[in-house]
Structure 1
Amino acid sequence: MKMFLAAASLAAAASLCAQAASAQTRVDPLDLSVTLTPTLATDYLFRGISQTRNRPAAQLTFEALHDSGFYVGAFLSNVAFAGTNARQEVDALAGYRFQMLDINWDVGAIYYSYPGSRRLAPGAYNIDYIEGAVKASRAVGPATLSAAVNLSPNYFGQSGTGVYLEGGVDLALPLGFTASGRLGYQWIEHEPRFGTPDYLWYSVGAAHDIPGGVTLAVGYYGTDIHQRDCGGGQKICDERVLFTVSRKF
């Protein structure tokens, strides 16, 4: 139950914040551009589902991008899953970005890990997993259209093959605002192990930079999962408003 860091994912909240910030550190001898983004959020939503059981999240995103297009990165966040003692998520990712046919491509892989989950009792499902991801985007006037597909051979909770599709649009507005919309669908081979049926999620939001390089964002998120089908009746799949504040260095 969690997010590709859009490529890097990260997170549906992180995608709203990162698009509006532009600061980075240049390491010329290595031809690298390095970014570090701390984020505070009212929740950690991954594909529409809360990863913190509706509680606030403190997150950190790191990326080192080479001039060739290759990159590596990491994402850290607090989490809270019912039935596990995992308290942290630590993701590692790597990939390659390039342009072809006037389309920007991002091809990579993400390893999602939850260190605390390794202390679970014998026989419990492993919640660490890996995904391959392909993302394409193209600017059309003031809008940027995007599409992504993620594939995991053994998704969260050893739930078998997981396939995820997403479409999105980011729209530059007057006064420095950016509006965003996302629509995604997650297929899960073994739904009972994951805790929900296959589902659709959506979001609409806006972001804006304020003095000091800080980005404020707000979004409305929801899924088509009924509460009775959400992890044994949890409220982590409900509709909600998400607020985030971030600063990219």
Structure 2
Amino acid sequence: MLKTIAALALGLGVAAAATPASAQVDLGSGFSVTGTITGATDYVFRNISQTRSRPAIQGAVELSHETGFYIGSFASNVTFPNTNARQEVDLIGGWRHTIDSFTIDVGGTWYTYPGYDAQPGQYELAYAEAILKLKYELEPVTFLGTAAYSPNFFGRSGDGWYLEGGVDVKIPVIDVTLSGRLGYQWIERNNRFGAPDYLAYSIYVSRPIAWGVSVSAGWYGTDISQSECGGLKVCDGRFIASVSWTF
């Protein structure tokens, strides 16, 4: 989409701002589980608001195995103009592997909107996306890359491609991570999506507090004008703050 106009990820698609430090519960036999609860001032997907600039409460859980395979889910409230979509529930699965400082993550996400009913002239919102993530750690800097493809993107808008590069810089003295992301979204049928192909950019900081709690804050923007966004403000740049608890 515009998950937001026609109605629309890392994962890890995942929460509104930054990802908290990971924690895992060992289940035995090579399995472990981790979960996160997040409260944010807004929920953006590739920097377009999914809640019409309103707060979001989100949850995520992942079950992983020592072989690298994992499955998980993400849920959040959403508010799309002129639709009855009020929640998003994503199903996630894949395989990740780390060799020295390099991590590869190959997976997919099925984005669903339980309770949504397409009215005359509206399209189904649910869609699937294949996602490749790469990470290289060179302390105190981490380089990240994401490539995603959907054969029928949000709102039945045809082929959707997304490429993103990013960097995280740890500042040990104050225990803060400074992050930047730059991505580009291509959509085959822009009229169904509700906006043109666009650039997404963000810069934010995150910091662990204690007991699995972390906070983050930053600026998220696109190069989509308000007129190109159907007259809505969901594509405008915005400041987002969040607090997360990982268990």
> TM-score with structure 2 length normalisation?
0.93
Cα deviation, residue 99, structure 1? 3.2
Cα deviation, residue 197, structure 1? 0.1
Equivalent residues of 2:182, 2:202 under 8 A apart? yes
Instruction: Tell me the residue number matched to 2:96.
Output: 97
Between the aligned partners of 2:70 and 2:94, the Cα distance in structure 1 is: 5
**Identity, % of aligned pairs?**
50
Instruction: Tell me the residue number matched to 1:242.
Output: 240
Would you tell me which structure has more helix in proportion to its own residues?
A: 1
Q: Confirm or deny that 1:10 pairs with 2:14.
A: yes
Between the aligned partners of 1:185 and 1:101, the Cα distance in structure 2 is: 29
Q: Deviations over 1:107-160 (max 9, x none)?
A: 00100001122x222452111000001011101230000111000000000000
Alignment of 1:13-28 (within 5 A): 13=17, 16-18=18-20, 21-28=21-28
Between the aligned partners of 2:132 and 2:19, the Cα distance in structure 1 is: 21
Q: Confirm or deny that 1:128 pairs with 2:130.
A: no
Amino acid at match of 1:169: V
> TM-score with structure 1 length normalisation?
0.93
Secondary structure of the equivalent of 1:134? strand
Equivalent residues of 1:5, 1:75 under 8 A apart? no
Q: Deviations over 1:28-81 (max 9, x none)?
A: 1x3112011000000001101000000000000111111000000100000001
Alignment of 1:100-179 (within 5 A): 103-117=102-116, 119-173=117-171, 174-179=173-178
Between the aligned partners of 1:244 and 1:142, the Cα distance in structure 2 is: 23
CA RMSD in angstroms, aligned pairs only: 1.5
- Give 5+ residue unaligned stretches, structure 1: none
Amino acid at match of 2:10: L
Between the aligned partners of 1:141 and 1:205, the Cα distance in structure 2 is: 19
Q: Deviations over 1:179-233 (max 9, x none)?
A: 1111110000000100100000100011111133210100111100000011x11
Between the aligned partners of 1:181 and 1:172, the Cα distance in structure 2 is: 12
Instruction: Tell me the residue number matched to 1:75.
Output: 74
Between the aligned partners of 2:223 and 2:231, the Cα distance in structure 1 is: 14
Cα deviation, residue 101, structure 1? 8.3
Cα pair distance change 1:182/1:32, threshold 3 Å: same
Number of residue pairs matched?
A: 241
Alignment of 1:16-55 (within 5 A): 16-18=18-20, 21-28=21-28, 30-55=29-54
Equivalent residues of 2:52, 2:79 under 8 A apart? yes
- Give 5+ residue unaligned stretches, structure 2: none
Between the aligned partners of 1:212 and 1:246, the Cα distance in structure 2 is: 11
Between the aligned partners of 1:134 and 1:176, the Cα distance in structure 2 is: 29
Equivalent residues of 2:49, 2:234 under 8 A apart? yes
Secondary structure of the equivalent of 1:228? coil
Secondary structure of the equivalent of 1:227? coil
Extract structure 1 runs of 4+ deviating beyond 3 A: 99-102
Equivalent residues of 1:17, 1:244 under 8 A apart? no
Q: Deviations over 1:155-186 (max 9, x none)?
A: 00000000000001111102211111111100
Cα deviation, residue 24, structure 1? 2.0
